[in-house]
Amino acid sequence: MKILVIGSGGREHALSWTLQRTRRAALKIYCAPGNAGIASVAECVSLNATATRELAQFAEERGIELTIVGGEAPLAAGIVDEFESRGLLIAGPRLKAARLEASKAFAKDFMARHRVPTARYRVTDSATAALEILRSGEFGGEDSPIVVKADGLAAGKGVVVARSRREAEDAIKNLMLKGAVGPEAASRVVIEEALAGREASLLLFSDGRDYALMPAARDHKRVGEGDTGPNTGGMGAITDKEVLDDETLRRAVQEIVEPTLQGARDDGFAFRGVLFIGLMLTEEGPRVLEYNVRFGDPETQAILVRLESDLAQIFEAVARGGLKEVSGSWSDDASACVVLAARGYPARPETGALITGLERACQHEGVEIFHAGTALDESGRLLTAGGRVLGVTARDATLEGALARSYTAIGDIHWEGMHYRRDIGKFVE
């Protein structure tokens, strides 16, 4: 079977690695554009992830039997619609369904329309109006936390959890007036009440009718220990039975998962692909923070090391509408992924640093290292080539054991300016 994976990060490395590890028959994987680590398990193709027509043409020419989309940008660019128009099998949501992530305002209105529990919100395309909303007191006083979100895609950096009204006003100015995440992403913003509680990520496969849950995860967005500093694409993630207890999971399925999938069908865009639901576990019950319409990063790494079923078979069932006939099996282990980042990340990451110790780190039992931002120089040496560079991932019978394995392996890795959080798996009150 020939499979094309779209993307170039740690998520796509984990997808490609898992496809090879769990496949029970011969498999040829291509990845566009891939990275230095992905090249060890797939043939990398020099095509941009959002070059939808070129990718579809490549799939036709190479006889690709299934395409899997890693990130949000190709989905928002309509890659699924393009592939399906040519009769190519692809696992992912169409453009209409991708709006659940591509537009925060669309997602919030969708939740309100289908009574999916979420935070109170307001939407505006005017910086002046946004500042007036903040100063009106609708979302609390001067010292109240407030959430400000860029409406469009911003690589995980368009959400600001402001600790006060002044911080929220600064966020509005940075997003809407200074273009901190680009002019298009923040031409409109969502202002929300700040919910209190623990966060959790609930991911599932859906074929438009049936769905299958994955192990719940929890990620760490802020760059600094103790959940300090700016938001990032993600500095680490865990999976463990303590993330969602049985009763909370039951409520999340009944009050959020099923109404979301039914609402999508009712609105004319039955969801097919991977749905990521970011949750806040409040005292009143689970509330939706956001939808993503694909695997998260680094949640993917932590989740997929626990998969015991054939991932290619699952994705094929998602694309063809046969998920009910496929059983997904997951290890009872816990898992952890710790992200190693380049100096300057997330603002201005430095690239080109020489990475050492990786071979030794890979020899630790139960550890897998997924490449996110790496490249090879002319001499074949491994260099940093992005903000998030590596995801050191491990599984063990306990979360403490998985974390210990990850951090032990990290001790072997070095490059100038490398930084990471040492408190992954801990919850900050």
The two domains 2-94 and 124-187 share their CATH topology (first three levels equal): no
Statement: residue 297 has pLDDT above 90: yes
Any idea where the domains of the chain sit in the sequence? 2-94, 124-187, 198-325, 334-410
Kindly report the pTM of this predicted structure. Answer: 0.94
Residue with tokens 């901190």: 180
Q: For residue 194, which amino acid is it?
A: A
CATH 3.20.20.70 corresponds to the domain 334-410? no
pLDDT in tens, 18-28: 999 987 778 99
According to the model, what pLDDT value does residue 429 have? Answer: 52
Torsion angle, CA of 80/84/88/90, rounded to 10 degrees? 30
Query: Contact, 236 vs 337, CB < 8 A?
Result: yes
Give percent above pLDDT 90 in the chain: 90
pLDDT in tens, 40-68: 999 999 999 999 999 999 999 999 999 99
Please give the mean pLDDT across all residues of the chain: 95
User: How far is residue 297's CA from residue 132's CA, in Å, rounded to a whole number?
Assistant: 35
User: How far is residue 388's CA from residue 122's CA, in Å, rounded to a whole number?
Assistant: 32
According to the model, what pLDDT value does residue 184 have? Answer: 82
The β-bridge partners of 393 are 337, 368
According to the model, what pLDDT value does residue 248 have? Answer: 97
The β-bridge partners of 222 are 231
Annotation: CATH topology of 198-325: D-amino Acid Aminotransferase; Chain A, domain 1 (3.30.470)
Sign of CA dihedral 319, 324, 325, 329: positive
- Spatial CA neighbour of 334 closest among 245, 240, 423, 407: 240
Statement: residue 232 has pLDDT above 80: yes
CATH number, domain 124-187: 3.30.1490
CATH number, domain 2-94: 3.40.50.20
* Per-residue b or e along 363-399, where b marks 16 or more CB atoms closer than 10 Å to that residue's CB: ebebbbbbbbbbbeeeeeebbbbbbbbbbbbbbbeeb
Give percent above pLDDT 70 in the chain: 99
The β-bridge partners of 219 are 237
pLDDT in tens, 307-333: 999 999 999 999 999 999 997 899 999
Taking the alpha carbons at both ends of the chain, their separation in whole angstroms is 48
Statement: residue 253 has pLDDT above 80: yes
